[in-house]
């Protein structure tokens, strides 16, 4: 009873005071583990989610073109491996997927993607030992207390022309998360996609430092 009361008090504090300031709230690892075992995240494989992923993939390939070689990718909160699954018809030099759910990583590894490794790791605590051309977050940045601080920690892991590609669905106080990120990183491109159910995502690209806004596309 006491634990339940504390949990709901924390949720109320988050909803009323922290979320409007752009702070995220983590899912407890045990809850996340159970959700993957129950297949809750299977909805990510649906057509409703496809546009969000495909715009992200389009950005990856756009910036890879300037490299003249396949990109090196880091996926923050990779889940059961939906991004590399959709990237599979193309190529990448290396791919690293991070997720703190053992079950999610087990499912991702079972697909047997080439040039890939999946690590059970909380990306808030992970220190890369290599460089990446694209560091991607598909919704996962919503679940950390300070999204901007996390991205700043990964700036040293970007290659010279590397980019962050971040996607968030338009829900709750996610606009505040964007505002906090954009205090430190200039958007170099941004796209909005909306599915038939009216769910919308913002997908934004950032570089290290301040860069001019190059355009905004909406589909």
Q: What does the pLDDT look like over 129-149, one tens digit per residue?
A: 999 999 999 999 999 999 999
| Residues 96 and 119 sit within 8 Å (Cβ to Cβ) | yes
How far apart CA 211 and CA 187 sit, in angstroms, is 7
Q: Which residue has the higher pLDDT, 132 or 24?
A: 132
Give the model's confidence band at 213: pLDDT under 50 very low, under 70 low, under 90 confident, else very high.
very low
- Would you state the structure tokens that stand for residue 66, as one six-digit string? 């300037």
- Would you state the structure tokens that stand for residue 206, as one six-digit string? 């950032």
Domain span including residue 167: 2-218
Residues 6 or more apart in contact with residue 211 via CB below 8 angstroms: 186, 188
Strand 200-206, strand 158-169: pairing: antiparallel
Residues 6 or more apart in contact with residue 124 via CB below 8 angstroms: 144, 150
| Residues 72 and 133 sit within 8 Å (Cβ to Cβ) | yes
**Model pTM score:** 0.88
Average pLDDT over residues 154-173: 94
pLDDT > 50? residue 212: no
**Alpha-carbon dihedral sign for residues 193, 65, 44, 105:** negative
* pLDDT tens per residue, range 179-197: 999 999 989 999 999 999 9
Residue 28: name the closest of 79, 98, 82, 101 by CA.
101
How far apart CA 171 and CA 183 sit, in angstroms, is 20
pLDDT the model gives residue 69: 85
Task: Flag the least confident range among 16-25, 42-51, 198-207.
Answer: 16-25
Give the model's confidence band at 27: pLDDT under 50 very low, under 70 low, under 90 confident, else very high.
confident
- Would you state the structure tokens that stand for residue 28, as one six-digit string? 């407890």
* pLDDT tens per residue, range 76-134: 999 999 999 999 988 899 999 999 999 999 999 999 999 999 999 999 999 999 999 99
CATH code assigned at 42: 3.40.50.150
- Residue 217 CA to chain centroid, in angstroms? 20
Number of separate domains in the chain: 1
């Amino acid at each position: 009873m006491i634990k339940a009361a504390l949990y709901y008090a924390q949720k109320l504090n988050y909803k009323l005071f922290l979320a409007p300031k752009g702070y995220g709230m983590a899912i407890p690892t045990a809850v996340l583990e159970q959700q993957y075992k129950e297949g809750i995240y299977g909805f990510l494989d649906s057509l409703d989610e496809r546009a969000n992923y495909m715009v992200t993939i389009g950005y990856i390939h756009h910036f890879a073109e300037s490299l003249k070689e396949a990109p090196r990718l880091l996926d923050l909160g990779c889940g059961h491996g939906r991004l590399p699954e959709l990237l599979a018809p193309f190529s990448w030099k290396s791919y690293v997927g991070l997720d703190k759910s053992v079950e999610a990583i087990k499912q991702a590894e079972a697909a047997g993607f080439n040039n890939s490794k999946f690590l059970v790791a909380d990306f808030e605590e992970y220190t890369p030992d290599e460089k990446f051309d694209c560091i991607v977050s598909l919704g996962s940045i919503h679940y950390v207390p300070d999204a901007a601080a996390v991205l700043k920690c990964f700036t040293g892991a970007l290659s010279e022309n590397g980019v962050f590609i971040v996607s968030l669905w338009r829900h709750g106080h996610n606009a505040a998360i964007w505002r906090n990120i954009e205090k430190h990183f200039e958007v170099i491109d941004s796209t909005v996609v909306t599915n038939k159910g009216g769910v919308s995502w913002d997908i934004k690209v950032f570089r290290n430092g301040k860069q001019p806004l190059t355009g905004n596309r909406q589909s």
